[in-house]
Amino acid sequence: MKMNGIDFMKYCLHPISLLLIILFIKLTAFQIIIFDNKSFFHILLVEFPLWALTVIILTMIFKKRTWLAIWTYYLFLSILFIVVLYYTRYFSTVPSYYDVKQIYQSNSVGGTVALLGTPFDYLFFLDVILIIPLIWYFSKEGRSLSFSNARGWAIGFSCFGLLMTIIAFRYPLIDVSYFAKKHGYIQSQIVQAFERSIGKALASNDDLSEQKIEELKGNSYVPFTEHASYGLARNRQVFTIQVESLQKFVINLKINNHEITPNLNALLKDSAYFNNVYQQIGAGNTSDAEWLMHTSLYPEGMDPTVNLIDGSEIPSLVRTLEKNGYGTATYHADDINYWNRDQLYPSLGFDYVYTNKEIPNVKEIGFGPADEVLFEYVESQLPKQLKKHNLMYSNIITLTNHTPFEMPKNYQTLKLPERFHDTYVGNYLQSVHYTDQQIGLFIEQLKQRGLYENSVILIYGDHSGLHGAPVTANDKKLLKSLLGHEYNMNDRFIVPVLFTAPGIFTGETNSQLGGQIDLMPTLLNLLGIEHESQMIGHNLFQYEKNLLGMRYYLPGGSFISDNAIYTAPSAKLSASIYNRKTMKQVKNVEGLQQKMNYTLMIMQHSDYIRMKETKN
């Protein structure tokens, strides 16, 4: 039957039609802001059908309270899109369904919401307001939301949505953001949920021996016990200090002749300092750094790795040290339930676990007790532990230097020029300076107790602190004045690593490429202890070449090699290659595809080991 002009206008002005038009506009805004996707047909054919299907289904299910159901749905979308927007601004990646589900655990997002938003963001709620007069008008006119073609529309949207989802399953999910842009946000979540439920996670059980992995990295394999550093620090006390948000550029940095980290700088004379070690965390942030340190396996990436752990025993640095006569303790003045550490710590096997339940809740800064309280608590426990154990492994995780880095005035002891006052960079430097002071006081306590000379103290940063939307244009200018160049990926991703061992090291600096995945094997080699399970990282004292993957903070498929940083295509940016030393963009790098393949092989093999160990 031919539709005339009047029928067509009536059809377009039908409440369902208006709702779908509003939904399409909302989705278009979401796609442009998050993915820089301005393709009308892509949004209409790929992104729109599944969201629209929900509207039709609601009209078919809720007969009496249809308008309330529709309004609630649009409100939910507004909240979801705001969450995705804020998350993307801070982490530079689109969150998975699991990230959104677990966002209450992320202090780093919750503490910086005020820095991430703009008034324009709340235009996402405009449609929720506009629907209210529509409800009033159509209710007054007695117009129903139901219409005769509802089932046909539902079938049509279902077919389009199913087709797009089937197409999505035909492509590998390496980077969530890029996948979501190409195949639809809902489709990306469906594929992730499917892969998570069947435990696929892109893991490969291809047999990669330690020798083969070193060959892929470009090294000639040397057995672990034949390394020159093997056993240099045998039978020493071991302390690891994982410093929240510590970036390498602050080491030896001065402002008006004032050192940012005078105590860490002083430790360098008794240390082997590695100044080219990259963070490799995934969605779990600090907890992923703990995972890397204690397993030498890659984090899961899309989901916090700790969420895949149920407390069952897994091979770890902790268990290996225990088998070699060490007592083991971990200290973190945070809620043990954050990032499922109540499952992580039993899995790793610590003898003693101290969190905010044991560490006194005094002198709070930010999310918990100040670092000075943390280190004083460690000092109080050591004598009791050393009466029971001749050797102790103490794992200390600081908390104070945490975004948004706002320190009480009486804790701001660093003298900064006026231009740094009340800036994100200035707050960061003040916060780092405070934590450095507490590390210095802790080292003095070790010296007074006679422990320092017979210890190995590994100090490293867990991840960057200066990144995302909180870093304003003014902050970038301040960073340029400090660094002498534009703030770049090296400045952001390289974390300082100090292996402090008095009498063994005398201030050498090592500039070969490394990652956090290399910390555990390097430490074990110094201690002269072999690990029973395969490690993906290697001893930084032995090997010159490396090949690193990073998930989450770089698009999936990216890699870092001795000469280059390759960033795979993301939701908004095309693939790029940088000279790693100059950070200038280049057109190509020798063996690009091969390095991409090798990186994926290594990471997939790590996933296979992780899944096998966490499921045993």
CB 538 within 8 A of CB 296: no
Displacement of CA 325 from its chain's centroid (Å): 34
Q: Residue 256 corresponds to which tokens in the numbers above?
A: 């008006």
Per DSSP, which regions of 411-466 are E strands?
A: 455-461
Q: How many CA atoms lie within 13 A of 79 on its CB side?
A: 8
Task: Note if 286 is an active site residue.
Answer: yes
Give the residues across from 241 on adjacent strands. Answer: 396, 459
For residues 309 and 123, what is the distance between their CA atoms, to the nearest angstrom? 39
Q: Residue 97 corresponds to which tokens in the numbers above?
A: 């369904």
Per DSSP, which regions of 193-268 are E strands?
A: 237-243, 254-255, 258-259
For residues 64 and 47, what is the distance between their CA atoms, to the nearest angstrom? 29
Helix (H) / strand (E) element for 564: namely: strand 564-567
Q: Residue 174 corresponds to which tokens in the numbers above?
A: 């390496």
For residues 529 and 519, what is the distance between their CA atoms, to the nearest angstrom? 14
Asked if residue 605 belongs to a known ligand binding site, the reply is no
For residues 401 and 427, what is the distance between their CA atoms, to the nearest angstrom? 10
Which of 59, 66, 240, 286 is catalytic? The answer is: 286
Asked if residue 42 belongs to a known ligand binding site, the reply is no
Asked if residue 244 belongs to a known ligand binding site, the reply is yes
Helix (H) / strand (E) element for 496: namely: strand 494-500
CB 202 within 8 A of CB 604: yes
For residues 85 and 79, what is the distance between their CA atoms, to the nearest angstrom? 10
Helix (H) / strand (E) element for 395: namely: strand 391-397
Other CB atoms within 10 A of residue 569 CB: 18
Active site residues: 286
Annotated binding site for substrate: 402
Annotated binding site for Mn(2+): 244, 286, 462-463
Annotated binding site: 244, 286, 402, 462-463
